[in-house]
Amino acid sequence: MKSILFALKHRVAAAFTMLLTATTFSGCAFHGEPAKLTMPLPATWNEQGAAAPQPTPEWWNDFASTQLAELIAIALAESPDINIASERVRQAEAALRNTGSSLFPFVDLGASSGRRRTTPDDGGSTTSDSSNLSLGVSYEVDLWGRISAGKRAARASLDGSRYDRETVRLTLTSGVANAYFQVLATRARLQVARSNLEVAERLLRIVDVRYRNGAASALDVSRQTTTVLTQRAAVPPLEVQERQTVSALAILLGRPPEGFAVAGEAIDRLVVPDIGVGLPSELLTRRPDLAVVEAQLLAADANLDAARAALLPSLQLSGSGGLSTSDLFSLSAATRSLSLGTSVAQTIFDGGRLRSQVDTSESQRRELLENYRASILNALKEVEDALSNAQRYRDQETAQAAIRDESQRSLRLAELRLREGADELSTVLEAQRTLYSAQDQLVQLRLSRLSTGVDIVKAAGGGWQRADAGANTEVVGPPIINGVVQ
């Protein structure tokens, strides 16, 4: 009996010694060189406007529209896009918990009890009872960091899903703002078209009176009638466009288009805010879409480490103990058993499968590195384009407003001279067309300025700031040093 206990103690001591040794080795798990991107960033922007205040997380308030703020609040609460992104974050959190559980031992407990009756052909029968209770423990030692690399990849994926949710939020809010501005612009263009139709109908009455009095020809009546019909035909397409835009806005808000309506307001009462974007180097920590790519790159680094570690031997520890008796539902006078074991496995031949996984992971990492480079270049372009458009649309709107005012004066003078018989109808028709075009173009330029304001907000990240920017030296993704992505 003593020799059995001595052997059991010796096995337990040996197993724990091996566990301690393996754990020590696991602390030396290798990490491959992280992906590095050397890319000089410009010190300043080509266009002016970067010195203005940067957008806040609730940037839509800068447009001074209570209606817009209410619509965005509804979208953030009810949009399916936001809910989908939130569920993806929850899935990533569950995946991280699942991956992290592999770092702990797996313990299972089992119990059984039963009765067996055997009846041979020659008659007679025997009955046997049995009861068992077992406890099993298994643990894979993370000798080369394969499991911890998987956990790092899962954590990076979780960060990426969170950044992606912020990207969806920014895309949604900017989409609601643009759709709302489009509704207001279409209604303003409708108002312009209907107002010009009224002017054309009034002039037709004047021409008709002059024709009956012999002061105008039938050609004059026909030309003005054509103008009225043309102005009348311009209204239905704008009405269709308004309905379609309102329906699109309803979908963004997570509402059915049926019965949905927007009160709206005059588009020229909205404020076009002066928005800055900061320095080019700051852009990398303020754009959630860039943070998504960085997180994907970090996950690719971890996946590559895991693929490389899979080429090395794996160490598995296991142990089990149990009680068994020949009684039913009883463990009295039970027989005890205990076993401990270790196993080391090394793939000798797999047809190159594991090596192919390493090659694939390396290629995916290089692809993501180039994707990151392309995303940075595209972000820089978006900022430059938005700043350039803002300045030019501002100048165009000022010039177009002057053109509109002068066109209104020209039409009033032309109508007056037509009544007095001092001018031809063609002069009035030309003044009509010029005014209508000037008014319609002014509304579209106002819409362009508002949309460009939203574009600047998106290009600047919508007021989002990565939580670890400036507070943690271990920046997610490639570090930023002196305006250079290392």
What integer best gives the mean pLDDT of the chain?
83
Lowest-pLDDT range, 30-44, 65-79, 287-301? 30-44
Do 63 and 447 touch, CB atoms closer than 8 A?
A: no
Do 411 and 421 touch, CB atoms closer than 8 A?
A: no
pLDDT computed for residue 322 by the predictor:
85
Residue 131 has pLDDT above 70, yes or no: yes
Amino acid at 443: V
Per-residue pLDDT band at 199 (split at 50, 70, 90): confident
Lowest-pLDDT range, 89-93, 145-149, 186-190, 470-474? 470-474
Residue 26 has pLDDT above 80, yes or no: no
Lowest-pLDDT range, 45-59, 205-219, 393-407? 45-59
Do 462 and 173 touch, CB atoms closer than 8 A?
A: yes
pLDDT computed for residue 209 by the predictor:
87
Q: What is the DSSP letter of 132?
A: E
CATH topology of domain 38-103+143-311+355-485: Outer membrane efflux proteins (OEP) (1.20.1600)
Averaged pLDDT, 452-481 = 67
Residue 90 has pLDDT above 90, yes or no: yes
**Distance (Å, rounded) from C-alpha 320 to C-alpha 135?**
6
**Distance (Å, rounded) from C-alpha 329 to C-alpha 347?**
45
The domains of the chain are located at 38-103+143-311+355-485
Around Cβ 341, how many Cβ atoms within 10 Å? 12
113 — phi, psi (to 5°)? -155, 135
**Distance (Å, rounded) from C-alpha 329 to C-alpha 58?**
66
Around Cβ 153, how many Cβ atoms within 10 Å? 22
pLDDT computed for residue 334 by the predictor:
76
pLDDT computed for residue 379 by the predictor:
93
Averaged pLDDT, 54-80 = 94
**Distance (Å, rounded) from C-alpha 85 to C-alpha 81?**
6
CA atoms within 13 A on the CB side of 485: 25
Considering only residues 477 and 47, tell me which one the structure prediction assigns the higher pLDDT.
47
**Distance (Å, rounded) from C-alpha 285 to C-alpha 396?**
33
Per-residue pLDDT band at 123 (split at 50, 70, 90): low
Lowest-pLDDT range, 107-111, 170-174, 234-238, 327-331? 327-331
pLDDT computed for residue 33 by the predictor:
67
Considering only residues 230 and 103, tell me which one the structure prediction assigns the higher pLDDT.
230
Residue 263 has pLDDT above 60, yes or no: yes
Lowest-pLDDT range, 75-84, 165-174, 250-259, 308-317? 308-317
Averaged pLDDT, 456-476 = 69
Strands (E) in 195-349, as ranges, are 314-325, 335-345
Lowest-pLDDT range, 57-61, 121-125, 164-168, 240-244? 121-125
3-state secondary structure of 341: strand
CA pseudo-torsion sign 478, 480, 483, 486: negative
Residue 72 has pLDDT above 90, yes or no: yes
Cβ-proximal residues to 50 (8 Å cutoff; 6+ apart), any chain: 44, 276, 277, 278, 279, 387
**Distance (Å, rounded) from C-alpha 209 to C-alpha 56?**
61
Residues facing 114 on adjacent strands = 130
Do 333 and 134 touch, CB atoms closer than 8 A?
A: no
**Distance (Å, rounded) from C-alpha 412 to C-alpha 432?**
10
pTM of the predicted model as reported, rounded to 2 decimal places: 0.80
* Among candidate residues 160, 54, 67, 50, the one with its CA nearest the CA of residue 462: 54
DSSP string covering 353-372? HHHHHHHHHHHHHHHHHHHH
**Distance (Å, rounded) from C-alpha 336 to C-alpha 321?**
7
Do 174 and 450 touch, CB atoms closer than 8 A?
A: no
User: CA angle, corner 214, sides to 213 and 216, nearest 5?
Assistant: 110
Averaged pLDDT, 424-429 = 78
Amino acid at 185: A
Residue 14 has pLDDT above 50, yes or no: no
418 — phi, psi (to 5°)? -65, -40
| 230-247: pLDDT as tens digits | 999 999 999 999 999 999
Q: Where are the alpha helices (DSSP H) in 79-116?
A: 80-100
Around Cβ 272, how many Cβ atoms within 10 Å? 17
Averaged pLDDT, 434-440 = 90
3-state secondary structure of 167: helix
**Distance (Å, rounded) from C-alpha 157 to C-alpha 151?**
10
Residue 106 has pLDDT above 90, yes or no: no
Cβ-proximal residues to 469 (8 Å cutoff; 6+ apart), any chain: 285, 475
Considering only residues 298 and 330, tell me which one the structure prediction assigns the higher pLDDT.
298
pLDDT computed for residue 482 by the predictor:
33
Residue 313 has pLDDT above 50, yes or no: yes
3-state secondary structure of 263: coil
Do 431 and 410 touch, CB atoms closer than 8 A?
A: yes
* Among candidate residues 39, 101, 187, the one with its CA nearest the CA of residue 483: 39
Residue 187 has pLDDT above 80, yes or no: yes
pLDDT computed for residue 27 by the predictor:
42
Around Cβ 220, how many Cβ atoms within 10 Å? 21
For 390-401, give one letter per residue: b (16+ CB within 10 A) or e.
beebbeebeebe
